[in-house]
Amino acid sequence: MQASESYHGTTPAALITAPASGQGKSMITAALARLHRNAGRRVRVFKHGPDFLDPMVLERASGAPVYQLHPWMTGEAECRWRLARAATEADLILVEGSMGLFDGNPSSADLAGLAGMPVVPVIDASGMAQTFAAVATGLARYRDDVRLTEVIANRIGSPGHGRILADCLPPEIRLLGAVPRHEALSIPDRHLGIVQAQEIDGLDDKLDAAAAVLQEAGLTALPAPVELHATAPATPERHLAGLRIAVARDRAFAFLYRANIELLEAMGAELRYFSPLADDGMPDADALWLPGGYPELHAAQLASNTPMLVAMRAHHAAGKPILAECGGMMACMEALTDGDGRRHAMAGLLPGETIMAGRLTGLGLQSVDLPEGELRGHTFHHSRLETALTPVTHTIRQRGGTPGESIFRDRGLTASYFHGYFPSAPRTAAGLFKPGE
């Protein structure tokens, strides 16, 4: 392994948070990124926690890669390293929090404390006046290690409403801006979160319009500079040198952590992308990765692509490695019943079927112990699996330590609802793609 490189930089930075989900922080973060990018600044954005969808929009907004930060899933050292590296090249760092500021373990507040970064809550002020100040004050005083001196009011009803909110805040908290309700700051969503960036027509125009709304609301100031320093992780060993991995990537299979992709490449793998929906075959490859996504929304198209299903069956019959995560596992079953109750034939690599349940059926941080080590990640799905297949093991829930998702193996295939974060255990991740392991 090569010697690790050190990073040290000071740059304006803030964690954009909220008292709860649904306050509008995702689009406020994206609009802030686009506002400062349009002003000529180099903007880097990160997302706290396991999330595939928000980073897609944040990448479009900032024009730069977006990585997940989570002290448990990605590790504290990686959080420090990614932020410190960004500080050496960016004029502004924004981190979008998850859920409410203090929700989860570790929470967005924990990440802010780890990085020494101020937090800026976005509070939905519709229907509020002086209570807005009570919420902001409570967030600021709940923990001594949280630095909160500015707040954003979202969805105000009028300029007069904004002035009331500013006047009721205590002297130690400043209203950074009062943002009116505006169509540009809304984004469509579905059962797993916001719609994928690639599916939103006119997204760049929408982001520019959202940035203009924030500029009109006065949200042009940069946050306070933060000093960030860390050592990069050791260069990963080339466990996958010369290995060709076919990676499904289209509207049905798009839940790919950028860090996972980069790690596979750093370990020597050649990634060959393809579309199970549109292509009539797989690339020539030693291993196959079917990530999560929305196969249930494209089940009829996937089922009708017979040449693709035949290619997947041939890869499996040859005993070549396959990693099928969540939506990828759904495509490997005999059938998938979509949200309208229609049953579609899938690849049939495993016995059984998945059925959309119309509700959340799995959520949370989890890990799995495999022979090579512990791989951390999460689960989030709205379908249930019906199969007679016996799992080889189960994930372990981070909260409570109880068994979580089933892990199935058949020849070279590993399938589960579990989404793994590969840098948490590089050698373990490599073993999922190496023949005979």
Active site residues: 326
> 132's torsion region: left (phi>0), alpha (psi -120 to 50) or beta?
alpha
Q: State in Å, rounded, how far the first CA of the chain is from the last one.
A: 23
As given in the structure block, the two tokens for residue 369 are: 């112990």
Residue type, 47: K
Cα gap 331→71, rounded to integer Å: 32
**Helix (H), strand (E) at residue 255:** strand 253-255
- Residue 95 forms beta bridges with which residues? 15, 46
Instruction: Count Cβ atoms below 10 Å from residue 128 Cβ, excluding itself.
Output: 19
> 176, 170, 132: which is closest to 23 by C-alpha?
132
Whose tokens are 């020539």? That residue is: 284
Cα gap 147→108, rounded to integer Å: 12
> 171, 314, 164, 330: which is closest to 255 by C-alpha?
330
Cα gap 65→196, rounded to integer Å: 16
Print the SS3 string covering 119-187.
Answer: EEEEEECCCCCCHHHHHHHHHHHCCCCCCCCEEEEEEECCHHHHHHHHHHCCCCCEEEEEEECCHHHCC
Cα gap 63→339, rounded to integer Å: 35
Question: Is 14 in a helix, a strand, or coil?
Answer: strand
**Rounded to an integer, what is the distance from CA 158 to the centroid of its chain?**
34
Count H helices and E strands in the chain, helices first.
12, 26
